Structure 1
């Protein structure tokens, strides 16, 4: 939970409210994916090294020995990679045994697709390219969460809307991190798009995400999803009027207002 709090103000709150078992599964999933995200976004690693490490994570999480394979892969980079990445074997161990196939398979698949995007230099020219990228790094997370909800208590959810849930949250991040991404030479906006078009894209996906959670009809899945989605809507509204990031007080006030 300490690592969660350090790496995500948005997801720490809903994960911390889950009950034991489900909390371990979602925390494991989030931290594994945050670990590989830190490789993709690393500011100093060469792209060739990023791709090699991400493919290595794919192979490790597809193997029968995730823990040792991950340790062997990452140990030479202890001085370079952040703590959340270096401890990916711990996050893997945290996962309840009956749902490791869901978390490990999605982590492996995401790492492979991230490696492909690194190879391509994050070349996003069309809306289809953007859809493909946001699926690779976030839409897939929505699918994984749907699998975890079903594992936990049999909750069924619309997987297409689950993808939009993840995609909408990622699109908010793309807008919020626009300046930093351009400074590191990466442009996630399709050709000819400005902020107006990206906001429209984001709102369209968040609308589907609203429908996704309204279908959940209560329970821990709904309680979890309401928080990041509420914060995403508030952030996109702030960006649309020239702001960028919600203050801590604003976040806590929004969370407190959620029924």
Structure 2
């Protein structure tokens, strides 16, 4: 199977939420966004790995960052091997194959994806070393920017690269932050079980819901300003699912069911026709 076909299979296995909008993108942009998603998922799996201690996570993440920063025309076949081989028995496939995801994007935009992934890996390393201690709302803002708001900025650069679409970059940060805040709420019990609490001190679930909705309002402004086209089509699906997840959690559900997801996407598809 060709690299992109293989990448789509890994993408489908790791996130159906993003698989759906990515495969609907036009070719060229599709490879770029898939490359970005898989590179970021590769480092995210290291940050969240249950069998790695925090210092090891930080070391692996910084190693990946340094390798990405050395990229020029691409990467040697074994470029990431020395940095990851000592843990290849426990790291997931999406992390071990980061070199392949890094070279998947068109050459004219690939360095922007390497830069974003390298920067995020360094930020994740910092948070791993501090055991993700979130004391204040400012700490939460820093964390959600580092692992998601910056993704919104990168997506804005991808839209501009593909067809010149210009976006409000503050709203782009809110788009990423809002999605990440919903993930934090959804995964709160699991995170607490592993000793990590992303809620600022004295914050209730209601406070975090309000934080998520404030940022999703910026995400609404972001998508409302996008012209009809691939950027809007891509952003509407995760944003719709984020709102659906918040509503489900507020009604006592653990998450959206598979049937809920299908219904929301079908409703969105009908509205966009």
CA distance in 1, matches of 2:123, 2:148: 11
Is structure 2 residue 143 aligned with structure 1 residue 136?
no
Equivalent residue number for residue 7 of structure 1? 14
Equivalent residue number for residue 16 of structure 1? 23
Provide Cα deviations, 1:198-251, integer angstroms capped at 9, x if missing partner: 000001101110000001121100000000000000100111121121111111
Which of 18, 35, 43 is equivalent to 1:36?
Answer: 43
CA distance in 2, matches of 1:180, 1:210: 28
CA distance in 2, matches of 1:230, 1:106: 25
Q: Secondary structure at the match of 2:50?
A: coil
Is structure 2 residue 117 aligned with structure 1 residue 107?
yes
Equivalent residue number for residue 177 of structure 1? 187
Is structure 2 residue 171 aligned with structure 1 residue 164?
no
Is structure 2 residue 73 aligned with structure 1 residue 58?
no
Is structure 2 residue 230 aligned with structure 1 residue 220?
yes
Runs of 4+ in 1 over 4 A off after TM superposition: none
TM-score of the aligned structures, taking structure 1 as reference length: 0.98
CA distance in 1, matches of 2:253, 2:159: 34
Provide Cα deviations, 1:115-146, integer angstroms capped at 9, x if missing partner: 01111111100000000000111111101000
Residue 76 of structure 1 deviates from its aligned partner by: 2.1
Contact 1:47 1:118 in 2 (8 A): yes
Structure 2 residue runs of 5 or longer lacking an equivalent are 1-7
Contact 1:172 1:236 in 2 (8 A): yes
Contact 1:35 1:85 in 2 (8 A): yes
Instruction: Provide the aligned C-alpha RMSD in A.
Output: 1.0
Residue 71 of structure 1 deviates from its aligned partner by: 2.5
CA distance in 1, matches of 2:75, 2:224: 36
Structure 1 residue runs of 5 or longer lacking an equivalent are none
TM-score of the aligned structures, taking structure 2 as reference length: 0.93
Count of residues paired in the alignment: 259
Equivalent residue number for residue 48 of structure 1? 55
Contact 1:71 1:89 in 2 (8 A): no
Equivalent residue number for residue 243 of structure 1? 253
Contact 1:126 1:191 in 2 (8 A): yes
